[in-house]
Amino acid sequence: MAEGSKVPNEMAKQGKLPIEGKAIRFGPGRNDKPLAALWKIWAEGNEVYATSRFPGQTIHISVHETGQVHCRLAAKQKQDFAPLMRLGIGPWFHAFELRFLWSPGALSPTGQLESLKKKLGHLIPTPEGLVLHVNLLIGCSGIPLDSSLPVGLNGPTLWRRPLPDGRIAVLVGRLLSLSNQNREMIRYFHEELKVTVTKPTLTGREYSELHHMSWSAEGGNIIQVVPMGEEALRSAQEVPAGQIHPMPRRFHFRSPRSTTDLIAPNGYKVAVVEMGEVAEQIELTKGIPKIAELGALSMKIEPDNLIAGSPIKALAPRRMVCIPSVGEGSPRSWEYIIDSRFDGSRLAAVVPKQSAALQNKNLVQPVNGLGDDEEIEMVAPAETLELTATLDQPSTSNQLVWRFTLRDRR
C-alpha cells in the first residue's frame, strides 16, 4: 500500500465522476494539461483490464475472475503479478496501485487528449508537492454498490463497475504528500539510473516515462510511473560544436556466440535462434552515429515438430543472453526477449532493440580509450528485426545492424 499523508478530499473533477460502467481514461493533470500518459481501465465480463499507451511502449494489466493478475509489456511479454490481496477481514480485495511520480523538470506528454477524438479523458488536478495514487479494488460477490471503502483507501471514486458475478470493481484516487519512498524513487531514476532515449531528431514534442513494477503477496502490485525530463532525451544527430574529434578512434568490439531454443506449447523444440561470434575493430567519431553490420542472427526450424496448417498464435517468449564489449568494457546485462508465432506454414521470430550506454564510472572493466566525461551508446538491432522461415525453407539469416554513438555524457 502507498505511504504518505493523505490529503482530505481535495481532488477536483473534470467532468462527472465517478464513471459508471463504461471505460475511464484518466491521468494526473495541471493547468488542464496531462502530467503523464493517460491510462484506460474497463471491464469485460468478470475481468478488469488496464492499459497505458504512448509511442514506444505498451503496458497491459489483466485482473482475471480467478484472482490472478497479469501484466504484459509489448505484445507477448507476460509477467505474473501477485494475485488479488484481501484487505483485512472486510469484503475488499486489492488488485494494483498506480503511482504517478511527476516532479519539477519532468516533461509532459503532448497530444494525449487530442488522440482520444470524441472519447472523454479525465485529468485529475495534481498540485505541486502532491502525487496521485490510484488503486483498483474488487469487492466480494453481493457487496452493495455504495459499500464503504477500506480504511486508508477511502479517497474519491473515479470509476465503478458491477461485474456479472455479483462483485464490483472500484477505482479510487488519492492525492498524497510526497513520501520519502516516492522521493527516493524519483531521485534514483533522474540522478542515478540516468536512462536515455535516442531519437533521430528532437522536435520539442518528445516525452519519456519509466515504469518500476513490484509485486508481492504482502505488499500487492505497485506500478510507479516516472515522467522524465530533457536529460533523458538525445538526438542521434547531436554534434556538439567544437567537440568533434578530428580523427576517429578505434575500439575493439566483441560479441560471443549465443543460442536459444523456441519451444512449442507441447514442450517440443521447434527452432533454434543463434547469434554468431564477432570480433571486429570499429571506428567512432565523437558526436557522429556509426552504423555497422556486425555478425548475423540466424534461425533454423525443426519441421518435424510443427504441423502444417496448425497455427500457434504465440510461443512462450525466450531469453537470449549475449553480452557484448567495446574496448573491453561491457554493460551489466544484455539480453533479447524473443517472441515468435507460427501461422501454419511460416515461423516468425521477433528480436527487439536492445541498448546501453557505457560510462567508465559504472563499469567493472573500463572501456579502453574512453574519457571519464564520455560515453558510448550502442543499440542492436538498430531497428526491430524479424526472422522468418518456412517448412519448405527452414533456415534463414539476417545481418545484425548496430548503432554506436560516442559522445559527452550528461
Q: What is the pLDDT of residues 137-168, one digit of tens each?
A: 999 999 988 888 888 887 899 999 999 999 99
Instruction: Looking at the structure, tell me whether residues 91 and 219 fall in a common domain.
Output: yes
**What's the domain range around 365?**
249-408
Q: Which of 140, 195, 212, 203 is nearest to 169 (CA)?
A: 140
Element (H, E) at 29: strand 24-30
How far apart (Å, rounded) are the C-alpha atoms in residues 339 and 385?
11
Q: Please tell me whether residues 258 and 360 are part of one structural domain.
A: yes
* 3-state secondary structure (DSSP) of residue 303: helix
Residues of the chain above pLDDT 70, percent: 87
Contact criterion met (CB below 8 Å) for 96 and 220: yes
pTM more than 0.85:
no
Domains contained in the chain, number: 2
| Confidence (pLDDT) at 171 | 96
CB 320 within 8 A of CB 380: no
Same domain, 168 and 311: no
The owner of cell 504528500 is 177
Residues 86, 163 share a domain = yes
Calculate the CA 190 to chain-centre distance: 17
Provide mean pLDDT across the span 270-276: 95
Name the amino acid, one letter, at 110.
T
pLDDT digits (tens, 9 = 90+) for 66-81: 999 999 876 556 788 9
Distance in angstroms (rounded) separating the CA atoms of residues 213 and 228: 16
Q: What is the pLDDT of residue 324?
A: 95
Give the containing element (helix H, strand E) for 115: helix 112-115
Please state, in angstroms and rounded to a whole number, the distance separating the CA atoms of residues 44 and 34: 27
Please tell me which residue, 74 or 407, carries the higher pLDDT value: 407
**pLDDT tens digits along 14-32:** 457 888 888 999 999 988 8
pLDDT at site 66: 94
Q: Is residue 3 part of a domain?
A: no
β-pairing verdict for 122-125 and 24-30 = parallel
Q: Are residues 210 and 255 in the same domain?
A: no
Q: Which of 235, 270, 295 is the last residue of a domain?
A: 235
pLDDT digits over 204-245, tens only? Answer: 567 888 888 888 888 899 999 988 877 666 665 555 544 444
* Predicted local distance difference test score (pLDDT) of residue 199: 60
- Whether residue 42 is found in the same domain as residue 173: yes
pLDDT tens by residue, 302-316: 999 999 999 998 888
